Structure 1
Amino acid sequence: MDAGTKKQKRNQRLSIFELEALREAFRQSVRENDVAEAEWAQHAELFVRRALQKGDRLTRA
């Protein structure tokens, strides 16, 4: 993949439905992992990193 394609992927916007699905997945992760509200920011950072990694694997297949 060249640099132009990578930049184009970064600039894509998520739809409201995709954002809602991501938000619900985060909430579910918080419940399943029993994350305290004070730790949500740190958990969100890890959650997004993992989601991006999974997305990369799916698009490379």
Structure 2
Amino acid sequence: MAENTDVVVIGGGYAGVMAANRLTQRDDVTVTLINPRPVFVPRLRLHQLVGGSHDAVVDWGRW
């Protein structure tokens, strides 16, 4: 019987999201991502938010 590992990733920045996504590919790992925002904010797009051409957020389901 395989043992399941619970992993908590604190912080939904680029590194946290990439780590969580990589870990979810494993069948024996359950991942919980803790982040203060309900959406991912790609910091590289904040200039588009200021310019009004993009809302600078991405739903977690798209990662």
**Fold in common (TM above 0.5):** no
Larger radius of gyration: 2
Larger strand proportion of the pair: 2
Question: Higher relative contact order at CA 8 Å, sep ≥6: structure 1 or structure 2?
Answer: 2
Give the alignment's TM-score, normalised by structure 2. Answer: 0.27
